[in-house]
A and B are shown apart, each in its own frame.
Chain A
Amino acid sequence: MVLLRRPGRWEYQAVPRWIYVFAVLGTLFILVPLVGMVARVNWSQFLALVTSSASLDALLLSLKTAASSTVVCVILGVPLALVLARAQFAGQRVLRALILLPLVVPPVVGGLALLYTFGREGLIGKSLSIAGINIAFSTTAVIMAQSFVALPFLVLSLEGTLRTAGQRYEAVAATLGARPSTVMRRITLPLVLPGLVSGAVLAFARSLGEFGATLTFAGSLQGVTRTLPLEIYLQRETDPDAAVALSFVLIAVAVLVVGLTYRAPAHRPRAIVVPEGIHES
Chain B
Amino acid sequence: MSLDFHAVLAERNLNATISVGPVETVAIMGPNGAGKSSLIQILSGLLKPDAGQATLGDRVLFRVGPASADCSSSGTTHSARTASAASSWLSPHERGIGLLAQDPLLFPHLSVAENVAFGPRSQGRGKRAAMESAQKWLGEVDAVELSVRKPAQLSGGQAQRVALARALATEPELLLLDEPMAALDVNTAPFLRSLLKRVLEHRCAIIVTHDVLDALMLADRIIIMEQGRIIEQGPTAAVLAHPRSPFAASLAGLNVLSGALEGTSVQTPDAGAVVGRLATSQGAEFLATLGSESPATSRTSELPLASADGSMAVAAFAPSAVSVFLERPQGSPRNCFAVTVTELEPHGDHIRVRAGRLSADISPAAMAELGLVPGSAVFFVVKAAEVAIYPA
A266 interface hit (Cβ, 8 Å):
no
Chain B interface main SS type: loop
Does A257 reach chain B (CB closer than 8 Å)? no
Query: Which residues from B are CB-within-8-Å of A280?
Result: 102, 182-183
A171 x B182 contact (CB < 8 A): no
B276 contacts the other chain (Cβ, under 8 Å)? no
CA distance A272 to B159 in the complex (A): 14
Residues of A within 8 A of B122 (CB): 173, 176-179, 182
Interface size on B, residues (CB 8 A): 30
B105 touches A169 (CB 8 A): yes
Instruction: Please tell me which stretch of A15-23, A42-50, A78-86, A184-192 contacts chain B, meaning at least 4 of its Cβ atoms lie within 8 angstroms of it.
Output: A184-192
Q: Determine if B108 and A177 form an interchain contact, defined as CB atoms under 8 angstroms apart.
A: no
- Report the Cα distance A120→B118, complex, angstroms: 52
Q: Is A175 an interface residue (CB 8 A)?
A: yes
Contact B93 A187 (CB under 8 A): no
> Which A residues lie within 8 Å of B166 (CB)?
176
Query: Which residues of A are found within 8 Å of B46, using beta-carbon distances?
Result: 171, 174
B108 to chain A, nearest CB (A): 5
> Contact: B103 with A279, CB < 8 Å?
yes
A256 within 8 A of B: no
Q: Does A172 contact B (CB under 8 A)?
A: yes
Q: Which residue from B92, B152, B156, B183 sits with its C-beta under 8 Å from A272? A: B152
* A274 in contact with B103 given A176-B118, A176-B166, A177-B93 (CB within 8 Å): yes
**In the bound complex, do residue B105 and residue A168 qualify as a contact, i.e. CB atoms below 8 Å apart?**
yes
Residues of B close to A178: CB separation below 8 A: 93, 118-119, 122
Are B108 and A176 interface neighbours, CB within 8 A?
no
For chain A residues 224-281, which have a beta carbon within 8 Å of chain B? Answer: 268-272, 274, 279-280
Q: Is B275 an interface residue (CB 8 A)?
A: no
Q: Is the CB of A172 within 8 A of B108?
A: no
Q: Is A90 an interface residue (CB 8 A)?
A: no
- B107 contacts A279, CB within 8 Å? no
Q: Does A1 contact B (CB under 8 A)?
A: yes
B97 contacts partner chain A, Cβ-Cβ < 8 Å: yes
With known contacts A269-B150, A269-B152, A177–B105 Cβ distance under 8 A: no
**B145-190: which residues lie under 8 A (CB-CB) from chain A?**
150, 152, 156, 166-167, 170, 182-183
- Does the CB pair B107–A173 fall under 8 Å? yes
How far, in Å, is A208 (CB) from chain B's closest CB?
30
Docked complex Cα distance between A279 and B102 (Å): 8
**Which B residues touch A269, using CB under 8 A?**
108-109, 150, 152
| B44 close to chain A: CB less than 8 A | yes
A191 to B106, CA, bound (A): 12
Task: Contact check, A177 vs B102: say whether CB atoms are below 8 A apart.
Answer: no
Interchain nearest-CB distance for A147 vs B (Å): 29
- Please tell me if the beta carbons of B45 and A173 are within 8 angstroms of each other in the complex: no
Contacts of B44 in A (CB 8 A): 171, 175
User: Nearest residue in B to A178 (C-beta to C-beta)?
Assistant: B122
Neighbouring A residues of B98 by C-beta, 8 Å: 175-176
Q: Flag if B109 contacts A172 (CB, 8 Å).
A: no
Contact with B along A20-43 (1 / 0, CB 8 A): 000000000000000000000000
Q: Is A173 a contact partner of B118 (Cβ separation < 8 A)?
A: yes
* Residues 1-58 (chain B) with a chain A CB within 8 angstroms: 44-46
A187, closest chain B residue (CB): B107
Smallest CB gap from B115: residue in A: A176
Cα distance A165–B122 in the bound complex, in angstroms: 22
The reply to whether A190 and B103 contact each other, CB–CB distance below 8 Å, is no
Given contacts A176-B170, A186-B118, contact A169 B92 (CB under 8 A): no
Seed contacts A178-B122, A274-B103, A279-B182; 20 additional CB < 8 Å A-B pairs: A168-B105, A171-B44, A173-B118, A175-B93, A176-B93, A176-B98, A176-B122, A176-B167, A178-B119, A179-B93, A180-B91, A180-B93, A190-B107, A191-B108, A269-B108, A269-B109, A269-B152, A272-B152, A279-B183, A280-B182
Q: Which residues of A contact B (CB under 8 A)?
A: 1, 168-169, 171-180, 182, 186-187, 190-191, 268-272, 274, 279-280
Can you identify 25 A-B contacts, CB atoms within 8 angstroms? A168-B105, A171-B46, A172-B99, A172-B105, A172-B107, A173-B118, A173-B122, A174-B45, A174-B46, A174-B93, A175-B92, A176-B118, A176-B122, A176-B166, A176-B170, A177-B93, A177-B123, A177-B170, A178-B118, A186-B118, A190-B109, A191-B109, A272-B152, A279-B102, A279-B183
Instruction: Enumerate the 6 nearest inter-chain pairs by beta-carbon distance, A residue then B residue, closest first.
Output: A174-B92, A178-B122, A176-B119, A279-B183, A175-B99, A177-B122
B interface residues (Cβ-Cβ under 8 A, vs A): 44-46, 91-93, 95-99, 101-103, 105, 107-109, 118-119, 122-123, 150, 152, 156, 166-167, 170, 182-183
